[in-house]
């Protein structure tokens, strides 16, 4: 199997805490049998790539929620 795009690059402004936000873009893709959420800054700098659990297929709004929680975790680290 090869790499396939599930959700192409999507711009998002993610609210963090106390009116703080971060401009990012993200995509969801499959590489073989594994699914990934790739997050980058608006300047195309890598932030984080999250491997999604087996069978996790979400709609766009659910990816936005997941994106916020990943960013909160990455920013807090």
Res 58: pLDDT: 66
Q: Give per-residue pLDDT as tens, 42-55.
A: 899 998 898 887 76
Which SS3 state, helix, strand or coil, does residue 42 take? Answer: coil
- Mean predicted lDDT score pLDDT of the chain: 81
Note every long-range contact of 32-37, with CB atoms under 8 Å and residues 24 or more positions apart, other chains counting: 32/1, 32/2, 33/1, 35/6, 37/63, 37/66, 37/67, 37/70
**Could you list the pLDDT tens digit for every one of the 77 residues in the chain?**
588 898 899 898 887 777 778 888 989 898 988 888 899 988 999 988 988 877 666 666 677 777 777 777 776 55
């Amino acid at each position: 199997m090869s790499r396939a795009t599930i959700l192409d690059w999507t711009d998002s402004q993610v609210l963090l805490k106390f009116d703080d936000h971060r401009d990012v873009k993200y995509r969801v893709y499959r590489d073989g049998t594994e699914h990934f959420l790739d997050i980058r800054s608006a300047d195309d700098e890598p932030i984080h790539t999250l491997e999604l659990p087996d069978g996790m297929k979400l709609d766009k709004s659910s990816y936005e929620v997941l994106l916020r929680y990943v960013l909160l975790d990455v920013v807090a680290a």
